[in-house]
Amino acid sequence: MHLCPAPVYTIAMPDTYSRDIAYCRYILPKVSRSFAFNISLLRGQLHLSVLSGYLVCRILDTIEDAPHFKSKTKITLLKSFLKIFNNYSESGINTWTAKTAKLTAHPAEKELLQNSSRVLRVIQKLPPFYKNELKGPVNRMGQGMAAMLRKHSKGHKATIKDENELKKYCYYVAGTVAEFLTGVFTQKIRSPYRRRYLKLYMNDFGLALQLTNIIKDFQNDNQRNWGYIPRTWYQRFRLQQKDFFCCRYPEKNKKLLSFFIKRIIDYQLKALDYLKAIPRTRVRIRLFCAFALFLAAMTLRKISGQTHKKKIAHKVARSKVNKLIYTLPLIIFSNLLLERKLNKIINRIKITY
């Protein structure tokens, strides 16, 4: 009797690139739940470019915010990371990662730093168009962060002088992200008019999100001796940084908070024009931008009127976030309905000045 060998079954193990992508998807919701949902809406190379690009920006942000590292050390880490980002080498990123081992940060952010090589390997595999669109904004972000840190390291108090300097800082940390997103989004948009319109309002889109983050994270930034609210604003309402969001001067606090919120609302309305310029055929891109903008508006509504609290409650309830997730696809094709929805949220924001 002829015996046939038993068939051998093998399980194909994912290659390094696939494992790196899987890791990026795994770590994203741990460092940012809101953007994890946004990015999950995108597909193909656009999804991978925004996924890896966002994580690179998060790496830079984690270095900038490290509470127990001296400014000089942070500047060195930012510059050396940019060199590796521009000319990737496995040995270079491993050496850089080892230098961040003692950095104090949120466990997920620290894990991301220790796996920076995985993020950069994904970027190396992106098509040239996406890599080129990412390169400029990431370098401008890192260089801008280093400039802010350099100012602090020379003995200057880490505060923003005036509104122009605030816009400059917001450009470094958020406008550059908006530039990258607009660059990769417009590849999918043929209309020259819409492309020009998106580029016109992209900085406003970044400002709307970043200014919301500044007011949301004010207390945490204050604890590490950083302040992003302009000194001229404090002077206008005769307040000091330590007196904002405290019980000592309730009326002055309400006036400053309302003044800041009005500024943010102006940019949120301009960000809506950015959203409306995205063609209705690009549904996933519209949803990406709409969720970020509307969640920022809902966060602003949550913060308004909290000048008397020692700890700002800024997290939007999960039930309201889920409702937004289910509602947006129903109105995403209509600019009129999107405008009505945003105005409805804005009209409920408490402004007392």
**Diameter of the chain measured on Cα atoms:** 100
Name the 3-class secondary structure at 227.
strand
Tens digits of per-residue pLDDT, 236-264? 888 777 666 666 766 777 788 888 899 99
* Residue 68 pLDDT > 80: no
pLDDT in tens, 318-348: 899 999 999 999 999 999 999 999 999 999 8
Domain with CATH 1.10.600.10 in the chain: 14-156, 161-353
pLDDT (average), residues 11-20:
72
pLDDT single digits (tens) 165-206: 899 999 999 999 999 999 999 987 888 999 999 999 999 999
Q: Which CATH class is domain 161-353?
A: mainly alpha
φ/ψ of 159, rounded to 5, equals: -135, 160
- pTM for the whole structure: 0.88
The more confidently predicted of residues 214 and 138 is: 138
What is the average pLDDT score of the chain? 86
Contacts of 325 (CB under 8 A, 6+ apart): 37, 291
The structural architecture, per CATH, of the domain 14-156 is Orthogonal Bundle (1.10)
Q: How confident is the model at residue 308 (pLDDT cuts 50, 70, 90)?
A: low
The predicted pLDDT at position 28 comes to: 95
The whole-number average pLDDT for the span 48-76 is 90
pLDDT reading at 105 higher than 70: yes
Among 47, 28, 20, residue whose Cα is nearest residue 130:
47
| Predicted local confidence at residue 46, as pLDDT | 95
Among candidate residues 329, 326, 321, the one with its CA nearest the CA of residue 345: 321
